[in-house]
Amino acid sequence: MVVTDNNNFIENITANEKAVAAIWNLLEEVYDPEIPVLSIIDLGIVRDVVLTSSVNENIEATIVITPTYSGCPAMDAISMDIRLKLIEHGYKNIKINTMLSPAWTTEWISETGKEKLKAYGIAPPNAKQIVCDTKLFVELEAIQCPVCNSYSTKLISQFGSTPCKALYQCQHCKEPFEYFKCH
């Protein structure tokens, strides 16, 4: 890089940052197909956005995502939705990479994501992260009912309608509900 190009260089960098920020904003509009109130940003599954431009000005957007659970069928749908969203906004060259390490954890769900979950009727993961261990016949966590806010709730099953949720019932208002389990 020669000195005279310096301004140009800096301009290019900020332009790239802006373009990356624009993509992050677009990804806010891609929702989890199973829990349509959560964006993939809320879920914390987008790990990186990289833009590279080659000689022919053909910008390549690489989106790095990580699966919540190994077998989560939503991942294929999410990849497709990311692609469609970016195509819609003029990106032609899109690469979606899956990264397994570090493994996804519910700690990456944003605070707004947790609020949205509760409003939707799904108990959000507890603030204090207590993940499943091999201790038997014990309920490790007190889960708050998303309907009446009572903590008098009972685990029905560790497994629910999607890999990320467990089934609970409120002892107070009797409402069955799902809990987005710590993972």
Partner 1 sequence: MQQVNSANNQTDLIELDSGKVPLWEGFREAFILHLADNALILAQRNSEWCGHGPVLEQDIAITNISLDLLGQARNLYQYAALLINKEPHNLSASSLHSGGKEVTEDSLSFLRTEREFKNCLLVEQPNGNWGYTILRQYLFSVYQFLLYGQLQYSEDENLAAIAVKSLKEVTYHVRWSSEWVIRLGDGTAESHKKMVQALEEVWSFTGELFLPEPYENEAITGFDLVALQHSWLQQITNVLKEATLFSSALNEKVFMQSGGKKGLHTEHMGYILAELQFMQRAYPDAEW
Rounded distance between C-alpha atoms, residue 33 and residue 68, angstroms: 13
Q: Are 125 and 114 in contact (CB under 8 A)?
A: yes
Residue closer to partner 1, measured from CB, 90 or 102:
102
Residue in 134, 141, 146, 147 binding partner 1, rule: CB under 8 A: 134
Interaction between residue 47 and partner 1 (CB under 8 A): no
Nearest-approach distance from CB 7 to partner 1, in angstroms: 40
Options 2-10, 14-22, 48-56, 158-166: segment touching partner 1 (CB under 8 A): 158-166
Residue closer to partner 1, measured from CB, 117 or 182:
182
β strands within the chain, DSSP E: 46-53, 59-65, 93-98, 122-123, 153-157, 165-170, 176-180
Residue closer to partner 1, measured from CB, 113 or 160:
160
- Give CA separation, 22 vs 1, 49, 89, 135, 183, in Å: 27, 10, 10, 46, 30
Nearest-approach distance from CB 163 to partner 1, in angstroms: 6
The contact mask relative to partner 1 for 55-74 (x = CB under 8 A, - = no) is ------------x-xxxxx-
Rounded distance between C-alpha atoms, residue 154 and residue 174, angstroms: 10
